């Protein structure tokens, strides 16, 4: 029997609640003075998302704002999805070497940001990792099959961020078999964009929850938002740590999100671009608290791949203002 876990990224939560009949990953704990006045749940990016507003506004105004958030989410899915036919990423992946692909300016912006993190990490995270993720197919109707090493080595030949170029909104690749996958960074970018929209509409207190990528707007009327970090060993149990967050992002990556177990070994979805196998540096989870979500999204994956020692040095050098919480293989905070 498969030991497959749901793809819903329940990586950060306080008290588990049901909103519109759908399980979500975060809420405000009892005892806080203010709770959400309006909320909307949808399904995008292969996960459940939720936008909760805490300001006192009219039902009609809230409905209009939340409608637009869902429209924007659908729009980003149309741009960034690797599997949705006709998306910008899909068209890049189907292009031949040297073919110029015109993309939306937001796709170009996200790709440039992804390439920045790839360059900074010497390819430890790489938006051209698609050949590997397609091969492993973990969490996407996976049959729990470990690919042959020959196939992994062949896929690695087509993972190289230096083989994709962006000129304004035109994308070209020098390797016809190169495949883009923005899974390590896209939800962070989308959360930041949704925050900008909500603020432009006068929203001062809200939570954006993109399948567990949490972005808090404001300070919840000076109370903050109590965000719990999932226990990576027992994801459905109580939080291993609770944070009081004001106007920041909280993003975690871990080996319990999408995985299968074969012969007693856990094979998860966070793949190493060095050997093509799931990263194994003694961690079960990395949580990033940062001012913007795109940084948190990218770093949570990157530091999981690098491990505690190298990851700590990297973030101290390049991102000293972010807070990192590492959990070892037993789920203990380091």
| Cα–Cα distance measured from residue 281 to residue 309, given in angstroms and rounded to the nearest whole number | 9
Establish if 162 belongs to a structural domain. Answer: yes
Question: How far, in Å, CA of 59 to CA of 37, rounded?
Answer: 9
Specify if 96 maps to a domain: yes
Give a yes or no: residue 128 inside a domain.
Answer: yes
The residues, ordered by sequence, that sit 6+ positions from 17 with a Cβ below 8 Å of its Cβ are 23, 24, 27
Q: Is the pLDDT at 1 greater than 70, yes or no?
A: no
Show Cβ contacts of residue 253 under 8 Å, excluding neighbours closer than 6 positions. Answer: 11, 270, 285, 286, 300, 301, 304
Task: Report the pLDDT value the prediction gives residue 237, as an integer from 0 to 100.
Answer: 80
Q: What CATH number did the domain enclosing 156 receive?
A: 1.10.3980.10
Write down the pTM of the prediction. 0.89
Domain count, the chain: 1
Tell whether 133 is covered by a domain.
yes
Residue 105 lies in a domain: yes
Q: Where does the pLDDT of residue 293 fall: very low under 50, low under 70, confident under 90, or very high at 90 and above?
A: very high
- Calculate mean pLDDT across residues 187-216: 96
Q: Is 158 inside a domain boundary? A: yes
Percentage above 70 pLDDT, the chain: 89
Residue 144's domain comprises 82-173
């Amino acid at each position: 029997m498969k030991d497959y876990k749901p793809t819903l990224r329940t990586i950060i939560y306080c008290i588990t609640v049901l909103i519109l009949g759908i399980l979500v990953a975060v809420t405000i704990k009892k005892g806080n003075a203010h709770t959400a006045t309006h909320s909307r749940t949808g399904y995008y990016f292969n996960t459940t998302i939720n936008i909760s507003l805490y300001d006192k506004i009219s039902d009609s105004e809230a409905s209009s704002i939340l409608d637009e958030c869902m429209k924007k989410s659908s729009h980003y899915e149309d741009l960034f999805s690797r599997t949705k036919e006709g998306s910008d990423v899909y068209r890049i992946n189907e292009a031949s070497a040297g073919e110029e692909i015109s993309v939306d300016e937001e796709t170009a912006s996200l790709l440039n940001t992804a390439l920045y993190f790839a360059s900074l990490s010497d390819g430890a995270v790489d938006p051209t990792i698609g050949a590997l993720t397609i091969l492993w197919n973990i969490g996407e109707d996976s049959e729990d099959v470990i690919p042959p090493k020959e196939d992994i080595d062949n896929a690695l030949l087509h993972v190289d961020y230096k083989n994709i170029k962006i000129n304004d909104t035109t994308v070209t690749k020098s390797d016809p078999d190169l495949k883009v996958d923005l899974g390590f960074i896209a939800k962070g970018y989308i959360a930041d964009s949704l925050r900008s929209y909500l603020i432009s509409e006068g929203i001062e207190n809200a939570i954006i929850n993109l399948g567990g990528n949490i972005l808090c707007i404001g300070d919840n009327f000076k109370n903050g938002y109590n965000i719990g970090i999932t226990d990576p060993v027992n994801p459905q149990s109580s939080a291993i740590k609770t944070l009081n967050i004001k106007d920041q992002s909280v993003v975690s990556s871990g080996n319990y999100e999408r995985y299968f177990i074969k012969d007693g070994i856990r094979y998860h979805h966070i793949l190493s671009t060095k050997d093509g196998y799931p990263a194994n540096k003694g961690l079960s989870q990395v949580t990033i608290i940062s001012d913007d979500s795109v940084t948190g999204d990218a770093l949570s994956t990157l530091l999981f791949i690098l491990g505690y020692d190298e990851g700590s040095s990297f973030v101290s050098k390049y991102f000293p203002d972010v807070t990192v919480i590492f959990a070892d293989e037993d789920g203990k905070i380091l």
